[in-house]
Amino acid sequence: MKSALPKVLHPIAGKSMLAHVIDAAAKLLPENICVIYGHGGDAVRAAFPAENLIWAKQEPQLGTGHAVMQAIPQLPSNGVTLVVYGDVPLITAPTLSMLVAAARGNRLAWLTEVVEDPAGLGRIVRDGNGSVQAIVEDKDATPDQRQICEINTGFLACPTALLAKWLPALGNKNAQGEYYLTDILAMAVAEGVAVETHHPASSWEVVGVNSRDQLAQLERTFQHQIAKQLMIEGVSLADPSRLDVRGTLSCEADVIVDVNCIFEGNVHLASGVKIGANCILRNCTVGAGTEILPFTDIDSATLGANARIGPFARIRPGTVLADEVHLGNFVEVKASEFGVGSKANHLTYIGDTTVGSKVNIGAGTIVCNYDGANKHRSVIEDGVHIGSDVQLIAPITIGKGADIAAGTTVWKDVEPGGLTFNGKTQESKPEWKRPVKKK
């Protein structure tokens, strides 16, 4: 990976590869999950501080069999052990569940796959009757064995008691000088233990990552699966290949999403929502019929129905917008509430403010909510009309139905109704001549 970050912590869809694998395993409701770690282990452990995980350190790293051996003392002997890999992030819970079910009743279950190019991968060796006899690593395989296209994925499920018996008997007389976990298959055959092989539902489930190129390819594979499911559920995507979901995106019927949109965290889009191109939405809820125009950024906010936001709007955390709110180009709103039908259509900043219903905020209006040390809240009551280029010095309350004239700086509370303005003078000098640039 050419990175200081441990490989398993590199992200796919906004979540580390290891987190994807742990989440898939957790869906099986196991008694415990043990993570075997080596290189970069401290960083890996630090990435999962709140998880209910067991950690087993492998030092030195002497192969896959030696790795699993580190976990055996941590596992109950009367269960089934499922072995998964932190750099194979797209494995699914149904495939893992199938393996566990196959291993019950004192059987060894192995996940295999048939590929066009098996170079570098362990081969599944079968006898004339099709029964599995062994797994041979590529470097140890004979020329005939290298022609086999059924390969070992590494995923297996086995009664823990059998693993505890077989692992100490592993040898390292091979090209790598390592203790191969795959050698337990031959031990099972020798003891007459039934060996079952299964294939994953999709080949991409067992694709591992060893480079940034492979990581990028799996990212697109994962996003394609998300896009496919969204379209099955009734979402229209302008281009399924230009969508990124880095969390959970739930949509009701007839949602339309344009190209290059990113959804992070938990996002819910109600029916009829339209998302324009190049928008970013994270941890937010959007009401039915609302339109988000291009290049809009929405973070940790709640939007009502039939609103119109953007283009180039920024909605920051803590914002709640009621139905039919309009926020236009280059409008930024932070930790504020807007009542039904209120509007701020151009070049405006509203921070820490409660805005009533049917309020109109003119272009260039700024709520000055920060005094250099503390933030202060303001209230703009129902039906207020604020002209262009107005500064509101928080904390301040503007009463119901008041009008604020263009260019006014307001630093005191405004009573309901009436017009508030700063007295100004205007002079003209007819004799004025514009300076000329010196040669």
- Rounded CA-CA distance 22/15 in Å is 11
pLDDT band at 50 (very low <50, low <70, confident <90, very high): confident
Q: Dump pLDDT digits (tens) for 3-47.
A: 999 999 999 999 999 999 999 999 999 999 999 998 768 899 999
92 within a domain of the structure (yes/no): yes
Beta bridge partners of 237: 257
Q: Judge whether residue 219 has pLDDT over 80.
A: yes
| pLDDT at res. 439 | 86
| pLDDT at res. 51 | 79
Same domain, 216 and 352: yes
136 within a domain of the structure (yes/no): yes
- Rounded CA-CA distance 159/134 in Å is 18
Q: Judge whether residue 76 has pLDDT over 90.
A: no
Burial of 122 (0-12, 13-18, 19+ CB in 10 A): buried
425 within a domain of the structure (yes/no): no
Same domain, 70 and 174: yes
Same domain, 164 and 266: no
Length of the chain, in residues: 439
The residue from 224, 346, 376, 385 that is catalytic is 346
Choose the weakest-confidence range: 18-27, 181-190, 262-271, 376-385: 181-190
Peptide bond into 395 cis (omega under 30): yes
- Rounded CA-CA distance 403/146 in Å is 83
**Sole residue written with tokens 């917008």:** 321
Residue 175 or residue 220, greater confidence: 220
Q: Is 326 a catalytic site residue?
A: no
**Whether the Cβ atoms of residue 377 and residue 353 lie closer than 8 Å to each other:** yes
Range of the domain at 184: 7-206
Same domain, 63 and 153: yes
Same domain, 285 and 414: yes
- Rounded CA-CA distance 167/182 in Å is 10
Same domain, 108 and 219: no
Question: Average pLDDT over the chain, rounded to whole?
Answer: 95
- Rounded CA-CA distance 262/315 in Å is 15
Same domain, 188 and 265: no
Same domain, 24 and 128: yes
Q: H helices then E strands: how many in the chain?
A: 7, 35
- Please give the structure tokens belonging to residue 150: 């059924």
- Structural domain total, the chain: 2
429 within a domain of the structure (yes/no): no
Domain CATH number, residue 338: 2.160.10.10
DSSP letter, residue 93: H
- pLDDT above 70 covers what percent of the chain? 100
439 within a domain of the structure (yes/no): no
Same domain, 257 and 337: yes
